[in-house]
Every structure is written in structure tokens, then in C-alpha cells.
A and B are shown apart, each in its own frame.
Chain A
Amino acid sequence: MFKSAYQRSLFRIFLLAGALPLFICVILILSVFRISSDANTDRAGQSRIGSMTRAVSSFTTQSETALNRVVSDPLITSALEQHAPASTEIYHVLYSALNDIPSSPDISVYDSGGVLLYTTGEGKPGERLPTDWGLLFSARDKDRVVFRRISPYDSVQRSCMEIACPAKSGGSVLGYAVIEVSDACLSGLLADLTAETDYMLLDPMWNEIHASPFLKEADTAKLLRSSLLHPGSSDTLLDDYRLFISRDENSGFISVLCMARPLSDHTARILYAVALFSILLCLFLCLLFSVRLSNQVSKPVRSLNEAMAQVEQGNLDVQLEETGTDELSLLSAHFGRMTGRLKSNINSSIRQQQELGETKMRMMQAQLNPHFLYNTLDTMKWLAKIHHVPEISTISANLADILRSSISADEFVPLRDELKILERYVEIQKIRFPDKFEYRTQIDDETLDLLIPKLMLQPLVENAIIHGFEDGSSGEITVSSKLAGDLLVLEVRDTGCGISEEMKQSFLSARSDAGEHSRGHLGLHNVDAILRLNYGEEHGLRITDACPGTCIRAELPVEKLKKNTDREQ
């Protein structure tokens, strides 16, 4: 799903920070809302069903009392026995029995054959009710007050509920007293109590006796009965309503209050759909942002990574495109500069290597067959001694020493040894150019043991002899060495004609262009190159005017000159 672990962890963080709290909030709010509104409905419903039940129960109790009073009234009993015609006294008894019953139902008296005798209602005397069926059968059969709804199948449909009680005398049924309760009577009794809530009064078999218009319309009683018979089945009407049920012990009648659920399924579904939608939106945004953000970060990182891999492979020409001003772009820019620097470093070190190689080559050429030369010189020395030519002998011996030193494997020699060789050389040159120059040394003793490149001073002195006095003049050549701080300062000074500005320039330009050496200063250049290679660019030779004459000066770091082993490493 995600390209990188970084994206994954970003997404996780976004989820935790964004979606999860939203999620929890939605759940909490919805459940709190639901619970509290359900609790409210519950309280209201419980209190209303309570008052409804009390009303039904007091109504049935009072009806029962009234019927018992009527059937036990001696006047009624004797009237039933004698089939007496209706009289004011009888009606007085009937009406006074009704007095205690709220919402004034009607009361009738039937004889033992089910013929209506007296009534306070609309029934006509002479009407029949079956005695082997329905209400009167039930009253006789059970021998007590019975409550019964009027079903759609009953022949008389004046009321919605009847209460009957048999009148007996000595074990035989004389007749029946019946209270007929109309719809209007029941709604007068119940409508106010239930405070506009939908309600129903059901018989023990959950058939409707009386119901508020909405429930009557929806035939809710049938629905309830069928859901009792088939508990598994569910009905959408019942889903949206909360039912409060209670049973009247007297009659077995069941009161049902039906309150709309504050959060009907439909509303709840919409709420949940909105919640789900917002959560999904949040998830989507989390995903989107994590991908975008991680791309923003990981793209430069990735290209930086690739560039590094290329550098690792040796390609230093990698170019990173500039993307912006943030930290990652700065990093990229830095990386670019770093590779540039690395590249120039490597280039210069390659150039140095080449120079070194060339110098070495020249030195090797210079050392051509030195042993043969050495032996020849030795022979010359002995021949001169034999023939008593001391100058040749001295020259040969000195030359041989110089040659031996030059062919020795040591690259660095103590200053002491170097000075000895220099003296040999000067001796030779003195023979060549008698009285041309005086050679002097000013050497600090502490510098004698320092190691310097072999044959470093000789070319300088040679340079001074050849060029310092080329106009035929004579002077002094002084070689000095001293310590100045951490530097060894070596100087070769002559009091000759001095160096021309042109020469100095040619020396400096030759230094920068390794290939071209001005003729006649080969030795000087070699020394300069050796010094710079060994001790760094800044430790090359310096040529200054000494007025009169020239001073060639080398300042070498003492640290690097001290021990053989240090140098090797």
C-alpha cells in the first residue's frame, strides 16, 4: 500500500492524531445522545404507563363493585325473578351504581335467557345476547365478574368493552348485569393521562379494545400479537417506537404505551452515515497528506541518496537540482559543493603525483651509472697521487664523495652530512674558479642533526657560483642555518651581481607550470619542487635580493625534519 516505511509511519501518526480522536468523539457523542434521550423517554413513559394502569385498574375495580352492588340488590333480584317491567326504582339502583364509576358507562340487566330487560344505554329491551357464547356464557361459566372486549364478530356493536356479572339466587342464574363501555368513555378516561402519547388497551389475548387513532390506523395490536406469537420476526413500526406495557390484574387487560424513539432508526442511520462519511473523509485526508508530505521529504532524500551512490561509484560529476530553500535543499546544495571540492582536491593530488614522478625520473637519469663514475674517479684519484698531481687527486676524491652521497639510497640526510658534501663541492669549485669566491658557513649546532633532503644545498650553492658571479666579479657565499620558532631557516647568500627581475619571474612562472624549466636553473627548480612536494606549497624556495647579491632561502618545518622514522611514516 505504501511506497516507504516513512509513509507508513506518517500515515499511522496522522491516523492517531486525526482520525482516532474524531472516531472516539463521534462514538461517544452518539452514544451519549442516544442513552440520554432513551433515558428521558423511559422516564416519561414509565410515569405515563403508571397513571394509565392506575386509571384502568380503578375503573375495573369500581365497575366490579358497581356490578356486584347491582346483582346483590334485592330489588334487582326480585325483579329478575318476577320479570318485572322497568320501574323508576330499578333505574335508581342502576344509576346510583354507576355514580362511582368515572366517565359514565352504561349498565344493562339481562335475564337468564340473555334478553335485555333494563338499560341506561341505547339498547332496546327484548334484544338478545347469546348465553352459550361470548360474554354471558363466560360470566355464567366463571361465576364472577368477567371483562371482555367487543369483537368485530359480535352481533351488538354499541361499545368496545363489556363487563358482566351473573345474578344468582340459590345456585341458579337469574340474569346478568352488564356494563357497556364505549370508545368515547375509554378515551375520556385515558387520553388525558397519557398526555398525547399513543396508547392501547388490549384484552389478555392482545386484541385491541381501544386505541388512540394512530395505533388503530396502523393495526398495531395485530402487529404486537403476531410479534408475540413469532418472537423472531421484527416489524419496522415497532423498531421506531418504545413500548411500555403493564397488565391490569383485575381484568387481565393490557395497557400499552407507544412512544416514538427519540432517535428513530431512520435518524440514527442518517447520523451514523454522516459519522461514517466524515471518518472515511478523515481517513482519506490522512492518507493523502501522509503520501504528499512523505513525498516532499523523501524525494530529495532519495535523489541525495542516489547521488551519494554515484559518488561512491566514483562519479563526481553528479548534479543535484535546486528545489527550494528548506533544510533538505540546503543539504543538497551542501552536498553539491562538497563533491565539487572533492573533485578539485583529487585533480590537484593527481597533478602532484605526476610532478613527483617526473622529478624522480630526472633524478634517476642524473644518477646514470654512478658506480662506474665512482670507480673511475677513484682510479683517477690514485693515478693523480701516483703522478703527484694533488689537485686532480683532491677533485677526484671530492667528486667521488659527492657521487657516493648522491647514489646512496637515503632520501634525507642530516644537515651535518649535507654540509660535508657541500664542502667537497666547494673545494672542487675553488679549484675551478680560484679566488672567485669565499665560502662561509654560519651553522647553529642544534640544526646539525635535522634531516633535510639529500643534495639540497649543493644546487643552491652551484647556482650562486654560476649565476652570482657570472659577470666576473668575486665575493662571498655564505650558507647559514638557524632555527626560527618551529622553522629551520636555510639560507644561501652571495654577494654577487644579484638576480635580475626577469629571472625571478621566470623562476616563479616555472614553478606554476611544472613542464617548463628555464634553462640554467634546473637545479634550483628541482630543489624547489622537492621542498614543495615534501613540506607543502608554502615551503618552496624564496629568492630575494641581498644588496649586493642574492639570497635563496628555504624555511622548513622543524617538526618534519626531526626523526628518520617520523619521516618515513
Chain B
Amino acid sequence: MKKILPVIFLLITILFSGCGFRADPQLLDYSPEASMRLVVYTSHKEEVYGPIIEEFEERTGIWVDLVSGGTGELLERIEKEKNSPVADVMFGGGVESLLSHSDCFEPYTVSGADSLMPGLRQRDDICTPFSSLPFVIIYNTRLVRQGEITGWADLLDEQWKGRIAFADPVVSGSSYSAVMTMLTALGGDRWELLERFYENLDSAVLEDSGDVASMVDSGAMSIGITLEQTALKSIAQGAKIGIVYPAEGTSILPDGSALVAGAPHRENAVAFLEFVQGTDVQNQVASSFSRRSVRIDVADREGLLPADQIPLVEYDVEEASSLKEEFLQRWNSLGKGG
């Protein structure tokens, strides 16, 4: 018995191992070598990263393994993988979010750095700006008369209570930058202003920054705070919304790309950074993506308010990121208190 049982088990194992093996060696022959790979984490929308990645792959022959997600989520992942990085490049995300994780990134200065708009480059070139994104106030052209909204101050007006489309800054990094810009532009006690603004939102906080434009367009909300490019894109798709560059001044927040420290395919990552900063891609940024390029030698789309006419406010990215923790604390307590 003791001799027979193992034999039976062996036979059963043989019988059933037959159906387990499935790896197709022929297929795996085509698997790219490590030198031809690149792992990109991107928080861009597919319409932005799609053509860029495709063109990059075609020009270089490098296979891009793309992971797309929210900025916060991806940065958290990079932070978690800090000891054995998976990603090579973080493509997208506001520079302040990237800077707040500066220890995960390796400073890299692209070859065309001189042609980048001054003021958009970041400390130590931790990240490279990709496109320039001013915050704007949008309004539903049917619910709000032109000229009725002029700046940030209107957002504190009781008149619009509960009718402001604003994404939760806990979730959306750009939403945080927008509200910090507003607080800076309005001047005064920052936290008191925040409280007033929160009251005026009347608990109507959106989960996704992408919903702002559509909420305003649909008339569910009258006004909203979003990025210029989001507004432009919606308008291009036929949304009935208008854009206001706040009179108190707004900030132009570039999104950027960053080289992950200890990137497994650093060479390809560098090639990618050079590529997205290059004229060809920047031309696409201006022409196809409703965005403003970060290069001085790339002209903005016709019909846009020229960059030098946008009222700007001094917005210290690093200060903003240092205040983030306190802000989130206050914001959450407001949420609980209200």
C-alpha cells in the first residue's frame, strides 16, 4: 500500500500536468528586450498620451508599457515602489504634485531647456514642464451673462451659493492648486477665505475634476473652476460655456514629466523626456490638445488670449506644496463640521 499510493499520486500528477503548460514559446520570441522597454506612468488622458506614445514608439522602436491613472494614485505607487522602481517616467501631473514627491525623482535637464518658458522650469529640474495650464473660471453662457463673473471674488458671493462646480481638492491635485491660487489672489487670511469658499460651495464638491465642465455645460452648476485646456476642449466639442481669466490674477500651472530615480530603463526614459519636450510634440500640444506649449518657439493656437495678457498672481509652487498637509486637514475638518 505504501508503495502503491505514491505511484498513483505521481500518475495523477503526470496526467494533470499535461493541461497546465500553455506559454507559447513562439509568442515570447517577440517579447522586447529590456533595452527596448520603457515603463511610463501617466495621468494624462488617452487623447494626449495616445498619439505621443505611438509616435515615440514608432520613432525609437522602444516598447512603452503604459500605466495610466490619477496623479495621486500613480505618485503613491511610485513612492511605494521607491526601493525597486518599476516606472521609468512619470508623464503628467501638476508640477506641484511632482515636486511634493521630489525624493522619488531624479533631476534631469532636457537638452532644449533654454527654449522652455522661464518661470515654468522647476527647482533643480526635478520635473520638466510639458504644457502650460492656466486656471480659469467657466460659466454657463445661458445661465450667466457675459461680464457678470470677473474674478475669484465672485466665487465667495452668496449669489452663487451651491452653484459652483468644484472638484474635491483631496482627490484632484489641480483642484488644490486652483483653490490655492484663488486664496493667494484674493489676499488676506487664507484659512478664513477657505472657510467662506467652502460655505459657498454648500457641500457640493465633485469627485472628479473632469466633471466640472460638463456640470456647468449641463446647467447643473452655473460656474466652475477648471483648467483652461479642459474648458477649451469642451468648447471645441460644442459646450455652451464661457471662459473668464480672473481679474485678480490666476496661476499658470504647468504639468510635467519626471524621471523616476533609479529607473530601470533610464536611457529610454531620457529619450522619452527629450521627445516630449521636443518641438514636434510641443507643436502637437499647441495644435491638437487645446493646450499651451511650454516652449517659447512654439506658437499658441490662434484665437487664444496670448500668454502675456493673462493676469497672473505670484504663486509659489513650493509654498503651496508645503501647505498641502495643513490645507487638507482644514478642508476635511470643514467637511466634518459642515
Task: Answer yes or no: are A and B bound together in one complex.
Answer: yes
- Measured CB to CB, the closest approach of chain A to B17, in angstroms, equals 11
> Do B14 and A27 touch (CB < 8 A)?
yes
Partner of A265, one of B11, B16, B19: B19
Contacts of A409 in B (CB 8 A): none
* B237 proximal to A (CB < 8 A): no
> Do A243 and B15 touch (CB < 8 A)?
no
> Do B18 and A30 touch (CB < 8 A)?
yes
Within 8 A of A (CB), among B283-333: 283-284
Residue-by-residue, is A239-254 near B (CB-CB < 8 Å gives 1, otherwise 0)?
Answer: 1001111010000001
In this complex, the member of B28, B29, B63 whose beta carbon has the largest number of chain A beta carbons within 10 angstroms is B63
> Do A268 and B19 touch (CB < 8 A)?
yes
> Do B26 and A244 touch (CB < 8 A)?
yes
User: Nearest CB to that of B65 among chain A residues?
Assistant: A229
> Do A26 and B31 touch (CB < 8 A)?
no
> Do A205 and B63 touch (CB < 8 A)?
yes
> Do A151 and B54 touch (CB < 8 A)?
yes
Residue-by-residue, is A195-228 near B (CB-CB < 8 Å gives 1, otherwise 0)?
Answer: 0000000001111000000000000000010011
- Measured CB to CB, the closest approach of chain B to A11, in angstroms, equals 7
| B: interface residue count bin | 35 or more
User: Nearest CB to that of A280 among chain B residues?
Assistant: B12
Contacts of B47 in A (CB 8 A): 153
* B55 proximal to A (CB < 8 A): yes
> Do A153 and B31 touch (CB < 8 A)?
no
* B145 proximal to A (CB < 8 A): no
User: Nearest CB to that of B30 among chain A residues?
Assistant: A228
User: Nearest CB to that of A275 among chain B residues?
Assistant: B15
Interface of A is mostly: helix
> Do B31 and A11 touch (CB < 8 A)?
no
Q: Report 9 cross-chain contacts, Cβ distance below 8 Å, ordered by A residue.
A: A11-B1, A27-B15, A228-B27, A238-B22, A243-B26, A272-B15, A275-B15, A279-B12, A283-B8
Contacts of B8 in A (CB 8 A): 19, 23, 283
Contacts of A245 in B (CB 8 A): 26-27, 29-30
> Do B63 and A272 touch (CB < 8 A)?
no
In the bound assembly, the distance between CA atoms of A34 and B279 in angstroms comes to 57
* A277 proximal to B (CB < 8 A): no
* B189 proximal to A (CB < 8 A): no
In the bound assembly, the distance between CA atoms of A230 and B27 in angstroms comes to 12
> Do A153 and B54 touch (CB < 8 A)?
yes
Within 8 A of B (CB), among A142-176: 148, 151-153
Contacts of A276 in B (CB 8 A): 12, 15-16
Partner of B284, one of A133, A151, A152, A227: A133
How many Cβ-Cβ contacts under 8 Å join chain A to chain B? 96
Q: Beyond the given A151-B50, A205-B57, A228-B63, please list 17 additional residue pairs across the A-B interface where CB-CB is below 8 A.
A: A1-B1, A12-B1, A23-B11, A27-B11, A30-B15, A132-B280, A133-B284, A137-B280, A152-B50, A153-B51, A228-B30, A238-B22, A242-B24, A245-B29, A269-B19, A272-B15, A272-B16
- Measured CB to CB, the closest approach of chain B to A24, in angstroms, equals 8
> Do A2 and B51 touch (CB < 8 A)?
no
Contact A272/B1 with A132-B279, A153-B47, A224-B27 known, Cβ cut-off 8 Å: no
In this complex, the member of A11, A19, A153 whose beta carbon has the largest number of chain B beta carbons within 10 angstroms is A153
Q: What is the size, in residues, of chain A's interface with B at 8 Å between Cβ atoms? A: 50
Binding site for B on A (CB under 8 A): 1-2, 8, 11-12, 15, 19, 23, 26-27, 30-31, 34, 132-134, 137-138, 141, 148, 151-153, 204-207, 224, 227-231, 234, 238-239, 242-245, 247, 254, 265, 268-269, 272, 275-276, 279, 283
- Measured CB to CB, the closest approach of chain B to A52, in angstroms, equals 15
User: Nearest CB to that of B48 among chain A residues?
Assistant: A153
> Do A234 and B63 touch (CB < 8 A)?
no
Contacts of B279 in A (CB 8 A): 132
> Do A15 and B4 touch (CB < 8 A)?
yes
- Measured CB to CB, the closest approach of chain B to A143, in angstroms, equals 14
- Measured CB to CB, the closest approach of chain B to A315, in angstroms, equals 37
Contacts of A244 in B (CB 8 A): 26
In the bound assembly, the distance between CA atoms of A252 and B174 in angstroms comes to 42
In the bound assembly, the distance between CA atoms of A196 and B23 in angstroms comes to 25
Contacts of A19 in B (CB 8 A): 8
Contacts of A242 in B (CB 8 A): 24
Contacts of B335 in A (CB 8 A): none
Within 8 A of A (CB), among B66-105: none
Residue-by-residue, is B221-241 near A (CB-CB < 8 Å gives 1, otherwise 0)?
Answer: 000000000000000000000
In the bound assembly, the distance between CA atoms of A228 and B65 in angstroms comes to 10
In the bound assembly, the distance between CA atoms of A34 and B17 in angstroms comes to 13
- Measured CB to CB, the closest approach of chain A to B274, in angstroms, equals 15
> Do A134 and B11 touch (CB < 8 A)?
no
Contacts of A272 in B (CB 8 A): 15-16, 18-19
Contact A228/B54 with A27-B14, A133-B280, A205-B63 known, Cβ cut-off 8 Å: no
Within 8 A of A (CB), among B1-46: 1, 4, 8, 11-12, 14-16, 18-19, 22-24, 26-32, 37
User: Nearest CB to that of A268 among chain B residues?
Assistant: B19
- Measured CB to CB, the closest approach of chain B to A321, in angstroms, equals 32
Contacts of B12 in A (CB 8 A): 276, 279
Contacts of A230 in B (CB 8 A): 65
User: Nearest CB to that of A229 among chain B residues?
Assistant: B65
Contacts of A134 in B (CB 8 A): 55
* B336 proximal to A (CB < 8 A): no
- Measured CB to CB, the closest approach of chain A to B66, in angstroms, equals 9
Contacts of B16 in A (CB 8 A): 272, 276
> Do A34 and B18 touch (CB < 8 A)?
yes
In the bound assembly, the distance between CA atoms of A23 and B7 in angstroms comes to 11
- Measured CB to CB, the closest approach of chain A to B61, in angstroms, equals 7
> Do B24 and A243 touch (CB < 8 A)?
yes
> Do B24 and A238 touch (CB < 8 A)?
yes
User: Nearest CB to that of B18 among chain A residues?
Assistant: A31
* B58 proximal to A (CB < 8 A): yes
- Measured CB to CB, the closest approach of chain B to A127, in angstroms, equals 16
Contacts of B11 in A (CB 8 A): 23, 27
Contacts of A11 in B (CB 8 A): 1
Residue-by-residue, is B187-225 near A (CB-CB < 8 Å gives 1, otherwise 0)?
Answer: 000000000000000000000000000000000000000
Contacts of B32 in A (CB 8 A): 228-229
Partner of B51, one of A148, A151, A234, A254: A151
> Do B1 and A138 touch (CB < 8 A)?
no
> Do B50 and A153 touch (CB < 8 A)?
yes
Contacts of B24 in A (CB 8 A): 238, 242-243
In the bound assembly, the distance between CA atoms of A238 and B37 in angstroms comes to 23
> Do B19 and A138 touch (CB < 8 A)?
no
- Measured CB to CB, the closest approach of chain A to B312, in angstroms, equals 30
Contacts of B55 in A (CB 8 A): 133-134
> Do B65 and A2 touch (CB < 8 A)?
no
